[in-house]
Structure 1
Amino acid sequence: MRKTLMRPEMKTGVSTPVVTPIMPAAVYAADSPDALDAQYEGRTEGYTYAREGHPNADVVATRIDALEGAEGGIVTGSGMAAVSAALLGLLSSGDHVVGADQLYGRSLRMMSEDLPRLGIATTLADAGDADSIAQALRPETRMVLIELVSNPTLRLAELDGIAALCRERGILLAVDNTFTTPASVQPLARGADIVIHSVTKLLAGHADVTLGYVVAKDPAINDRMRVFAVTAGLTPSPFDCWLAERGLMTFGLRFEKAQETAGALAEFLSGQPGVRQVLYPGRADHPDAARTQALLRGRPGTMLSFEIEGGRPAANAFCEAADGVAFAPTLGDVGTTLSHPASSSHRALTPEGRAALGISEGFFRVSVGLEEPEALCATFAEGLAAARGA
């Protein structure tokens, strides 16, 4: 395990900067061909070309490794670049992959359109039921990709059962831990082989970074993903890595505060007229409430979803009246953000397809930020009043 300090020690003469320097160099010089050989062969440490790695990316990788109980993590230019490193870096034509049927929208698109185009067969199944995953497996299945909490309906995967199934069949289990974060669960410790993050979201936490992270428990698998990431140019920006390091310094504090407020907002919404349902893993009425304690260690997270009556007109009225809550298809910011899956992440699905997932025109996903609970509830009350008027 790489040593992790609150601030990395980088000497400059007799003093040490308290903030990691940004190192934007595209290329690094070596002393000689022999020195370069030693570096590439692992006998010495250093950098060559930023596409192959740079100091700011390594600082971020080390920090996330420590959170996930991992080693050798790979930082990429986006969350989808991390997904690509796992899927495209490890699968070949003729292979089969099973994905959860409520993955992030672009992950679903890759599963349904891009992988089949490359000769990789795909099947979607319910990750909340290990038997559903089992029925989707084939002799040529090489990987299962799930999210621990589904987007946007916040259903919990049956991680332990799926991990046992994959272990028995010799299939890689990749877990996107973006929603839950290692503050709630460390998938590698629960049987996963690969962990993926959109660092853009809760880990960086300020809506000003676009980065991803992927790591495998097996170093040989990790090396295959790293080689693909370098070859495909999935390189992260040094400046984004520098910003992400700053965000990671406060991740734990931000998570705890936002989680507390999420619970308060869910409780408030559940008692409001015109609200059909509230989905928050921390509530006793959540469909998977019994799984929350076992899987998330009683830490239900910062995301919730709710549905209002009145369809699209009510949804429009709510967004316009909930002043101060950004209507934006993202999550994990310091401010609360509101997403409308029917018009954003799941717009490519047919109305029937969205309905099958429980996504109506009145369905919203909320990423709770650092506002005080009373102020946030008051803002949502204004939005609900406008929605009822619509």
Structure 2
Amino acid sequence: MKNSKGSLIRPVPLPDSISRPVVTPLSPSVVYASDTPDDLDAQYEGRTSGYTYAREGHPNADVLARRIDLLEGGTGGIVTSSGMSAVTAVMMGLLKAGDHVLGGDQLYGRSLRLMKQDLPRLGIATSLADPTDVAAMEAALRPETRMILVEVVSNPTLRVADIEGLASLCKARGILLAVDNTFTTPRAYRPFDAGADIVIHSVTKLLAGHSDVTLGYACAADPVLQKAIYDFAVTTGLTASPFDCWLAERGLATFNLRFDRAEANAVALADHLATLPGVKRVLYPMRADHPDQARAKALLGARGCNMVSFELEGGRKAANAFTRAADGLAFAPTLGDVGTTLSHPASSSHRALAPAEREALGMSEGFFRVSVGLEEEAPLLEVFTRAVAAARGAA
């Protein structure tokens, strides 16, 4: 900013300094000033770099996006206002009326709603198939199929998609493969390495890790596709908050440590739950009784992630008793927090599905998804022991 005499409203420039901050500064400014119209033209035309209006980009979003790019092996990703806004930017930025998109049949509840209700009314056809079965996915393709959307590990039944098989199928058919990597994160799996075209995250969850931000991320391997995603997000205002981006970047500093600790707790919890009377089944990808264990080991190696799902005997009555007795655990529809959280899909993420639809997907009234946190192992297991016993007594 140019110097001026007198008292003006706008602040004076920051003092010159030979040193620089160790922590990324928070930049809440909505607008950025240029010296001349020629300078502004140069920015918009890509001849120089800079910022104009925060809806189109700001420093904190760009710093966070570049950090996630490095983790995922991508380039030019964009941070958006939520995980679902990232999914929406991908879909609406790349699809048009007359296209068909095929989704995994156990996507996150709001992704399922987008597929079943919102895209069809805009002229985009959708259908669902089992992502663990490439033949079933191939059978569901149509001549107008433009994209397949799957999660590496499904929410909340923890089925493991055949990402490598789907990548080969998409390449052979000229179809885009979009992969939601929220559960697995690049600590466990990098979809671009397997041939995915697009990677999506709810940064809100494990990457940020403290339940205090709401953000998403989307990155396409092809810069032309990425520009289309960016243009839709900017046009429709799917803007990420600078403060949320700043917090999420801070969260990433401990991401590896948090992931490893939570994963170790998840292994212990899954094995412990399997021993408790009143628990009908336990789902964890690395367990021998998981239907996709072989694929999980092939894709993820030793990484089982921090999510555990299980089913209680006794239905909703047992579920209510369980959450009442689970002292110190948050019953809340989220995941990836430093503390363990409990989610009941029938009353939260998948409540929009009819009971018969939930049952067909394996989500009964006694079904819970656990996002395992960073607690000490022994007291964590004790809480579940007491809560399951209370549920059994109420059933």
TM-score for both structures, normalised by structure 2: 0.95
**Structure with the greater alpha carbon radius of gyration:** 2
**2:220 — aligned with what?**
216
Map residues 170-189 of structure 1 onto 2, 5 A cutoff. Answer: 170-189=174-193
Structure-to-structure mapping, 1:129-208, within 5 angstroms: 129-208=133-212
Aligned-residue identity in percent: 69
Structure-2 residue corresponding to 1:305: 309
Alignment of 1:9-158 (within 5 A): 13-158=17-162
Query: What's 2:372 paired with?
Result: 368
Aligned to 1:266: 270
Indicate conservation of the 8 Å contact 1:319/1:383, yes or no: yes
Rounded Cα–Cα distance in structure 1 between residues aligned with 2:369 and 2:333 = 9
* Aligned equivalent of 2:388: 384
Are 2:319 and 1:315 equivalent residues in the alignment?
Answer: yes
The 8 Å contact of residues 11 and 17 in structure 1, kept in 2 or not, is answered as no
Distance, in Å, in 1 between the alignment partners of 2:15 and 2:115 is 46
Aligned residues: 381
Partner of 1:352: 356
Contact 1:274 1:308 in 2 (8 A): yes
Task: Assess if the C-alpha contact under 8 Å between 1:99 and 1:125 holds in 2.
Answer: yes
Amino acid at match of 1:372: E
Match for residue 296 of structure 1? 300
CA apart distance, 1:12 = 5.6
Compute the displacement of 1:297 (Å): 2.1
Partner amino acid, structure 1, of 2:206: L
Alpha carbon RMSD of aligned pairs, Å?
A: 1.1
The corresponding residue for 2:4 is none
Q: Which secondary structure does the structure 2 equivalent of 1:182 belong to? A: helix
Find the counterpart in structure 2 of residue 5 from structure 1: none
* 1:33, distance to aligned residue in structure 2 (A): 1.1
- Map 1:242-261 → 2, pairs under 5 A: 242-261=246-265
Alignment-derived partner of residue 283 in structure 1: 287
- Show structure 2 runs of 5+ residues with no match: 1-13
1:72 aligned partner, one-letter code: G
**Code of the aligned partner of 1:240:** D
Displacement, 1:11? 10
Which residue is equivalent to 2:9?
Answer: none
Alignment equivalent of 1:338, drawn from 320, 325, 342: 342
| Alpha-carbon distance in 2 for matches of 1:167, 1:12 | 52
4+ aligned runs moved over 3 Å, structure 1: none
Consecutive unaligned residues in structure 1, runs of 5 or more: 1-9
Cα shift readout 1:29-72 (whole Å, capped 9, x = no counterpart): 11111111111111111000000000000110011000000110
Residue in 1 aligned with 2:229?
225
Q: 1:110 to 1:104 in 2, by over 3 A?
A: same
- The amino acid across from 2:67 in the alignment is R
Secondary structure of 2:28 counterpart:
coil
Which one-letter code corresponds to 1:50 in the other structure? Answer: A
Change over 3 Å in CA distance of 1:386–1:220 after alignment to 2: same
